[in-house]
Amino acid sequence: MRNTTGSLAATLVLTTGLAAANGQDDGGVEMSGPALFKSYCASCHGADAKGDGPVAHLLAYRPADLTQVAARDRGRFDRRKVHRIIDGRDPVKGRGGPDMPLWGDAFKLAGGSYSDAEVDQRIESLVEYLEALQPR
Ligand code: HEC
């Protein structure tokens, strides 16, 4: 299962990466949280981030409901921790199962030559987007 989902994630990254190469990535469009989420996250987490994306049922672990990140963390939205979960290169214990891709690496590859700062900026846009999705 690990391998299947690993290559599924790689395929998703590749296809979305190609979409970016088709010109969606200029003009800063792909740097916005909502656009990034739609391109890279909605397939698993769902357009509404509730964990019911079109490929969710193919995974061994159900993608998390991302509107409940704070609720699962005693009501606190820890931006640094969420950033690290999404990046994935510096795993946070207990968060983001094995089916959650390492976006830090994926964004670097998708952009061809994204710098660490650019990768960080993309992840930060996603963190902001997710923070805004938390019910108050
Ligand atoms: C291949 C499917 C897949 C894609 C694509 C994906 N995720 Fe995930 N994600 C998961 C799975 C599976 C989990 C783990 C659920 C668990 O461990 O309970 C997860 C967990 C998470 C968590 C931890 C939530 C929590 O409170 O524990 C965050 C944050 C997250 N994903 C954000 C993102 C973002 C942002 C993107 C897009 C850049 C993304 N994910 C794309 C499958 C995916």
Residue-number span of the structural domain to which 105 is assigned: 2-133
28 pLDDT more than 80: no
Tell me the three state secondary structure of residue 119. Answer: helix
**Between residues 91 and 39, which one has the greater pLDDT?**
39
Residue 95 CA to ligand 1 center (angstroms) comes to 9
Total domains in the chain come to 1
pLDDT at 2 over 50: no
Angle value at C-alpha 20, between 15 and 23, nearest 5 degrees = 135
Look over the chain and give the mean of its residue pLDDT values, rounded to a whole number: 81
Question: In this structure, which residue's CA is closest to atom 13 in ligand 1?
Answer: 63
Q: What is the pTM of this model?
A: 0.82
| Between residues 13 and 31, the one the model is more confident about | 31
Ligand 1, pocket-test mutation among 69, 100, 108, 122, most atoms within 8 A of CB: 100
